[in-house]
Structure formats: structure tokens, C-alpha cells
Amino acid sequence: MAKNTENIITRGLSGKFANVCFQKNGVIRKLPDRSNFKWTPLQAKHHEHFESAKEYARHVVADAEKTAYYTPLLKKWKKWRRLQNVGIYQLAICDFSHPPEILRVEFKGRPGKPESRISVFAHDNFQVSGVHVSLFMPDGTWIEEGEGIVPALGYTYDYAIQHPDQFKPGSLARIRVWDVPGNITEKYFQFSVENEIKFVPLTSLAGSINLVPAPPSPPPLSLI
């Protein structure tokens, strides 16, 4: 006896209708009842972050300049990940969902001497857009701040210390790294020269240390 194993009624249908979901293979599934579902704080935070990622992806697709930035990366991403059903939209979501990382911070030169600098090793799944370094005395008094610069040959960001005589053992360095979507990663390090010259990562600042922000920039001179 001949048998027909196909579902001729729902064949070709897909998507959601009322409380029923039609799969491409013809299977009909009932959607779960989520009327009494409550998000946990962690789930709510993740959901909010993903909604922000989708909003950024829509902005990228609508912006010709940002689309041009991700287009060459998309070809490499497809080849590396061996994924074909990926577009600019999905790539932008991936970039937004992975903030940059500060791998390590090193001191170059001699403490208190000119030409000393701070090298920041930063990484992002696509591109690190910039690095900002702020230096403070052990008591939290602001010393200086500025942008890290990538040398002609290298992948680290170097910041030349402008006042090396004030940057002494026990001083603090605040490192901020950001990527193209605008994700910012911030870490604090303490300058130590006990056994070796290095930066010690700080999980949190001591309660007695109150960082003093940089003084405000002077207003522009008026020609009137």
C-alpha cells in the first residue's frame, strides 16, 4: 500500500500564527505559556544589552560609512568562522556584544626619569579604537592624562609620561580602552617597584583613596 509521509496541509508554511508555530519541515508546535514568566536581574540585564546591540546593528546598516567599515571584515569573518548566513547586521551585534580587553600594562624606562612611558596591551574581537591613560598620586591627586599612541611598528598603545618626577611608586594609573561600537573597559593599576618595576592590577580602590578629577580646561579666549 502506498503511503504519503508528507504533511500536505501545512507544507510550505513557516512562522507563528496565534499560539502555534509552523516549522519549515511541516511540524506544528505550541508556543510555551510565558504569561507568568519573570525575568531574573541577570536575564533582564542580558536582554537589555542584546536590545542595545540590535539597535546598534540597525544604525550600522543604515549608515554607509559604518557599513563600509564592516564589509571587508565580513568576508574574513565568514571564511574564518565558516559561516555563510551572516551579514553586516549580525557582525555588528557580535562587535557590540564583546567589549575590548586590557591584557596587561607595562612601564618602560626608569622611574622618575624623562622619556619613561606606559605601554598598554589591549585586544578586541574586531578593533580597538583608542586608549586613554590617567595618572594619580598615591593619595588620589590628579597628575596628568592623555591618549595612548600606537607606534609605527607594533600593536601596543604607548603613553609618554609628561611629569615623571610626580609619578612615583604607589601612584595609580587608570586605563580606559574603547572599541568601534563605543564599549569602554576601565581598569586601575598601581605602580610598584618593590621586587620589579611593574603595574599591579587593582580589583577596587581603597576606601581612603578619592581620585581628584582633572582640572577643567580654561575657556577659549574671546576676540571681542
- The pLDDT tens digits of the residues spanning 10-21 come to 566 666 666 777
Higher-confidence position of 86 and 68: 68
- Structure confidence by residue, pLDDT tens digits, 115-128: 889 999 999 989 89
Going by C-alpha positions, the residue among 109, 105, 102 that lies closest to residue 199 is 105
Q: Tell me how far apart the alpha carbons of residues 151 and 4 are, in angstroms, rounded to a whole number.
A: 69
Q: Tell me how far apart the alpha carbons of residues 74 and 91 are, in angstroms, rounded to a whole number.
A: 7
Helices of type H across the chain: 41-62, 64-81, 88-97
- The answer, yes or no, to whether residue 99 has pLDDT greater than 90, is yes
- The answer, yes or no, to whether residue 224 has pLDDT greater than 50, is no
Q: Tell me how far apart the alpha carbons of residues 212 and 205 are, in angstroms, rounded to a whole number.
A: 13
Q: Tell me how far apart the alpha carbons of residues 72 and 88 are, in angstroms, rounded to a whole number.
A: 10
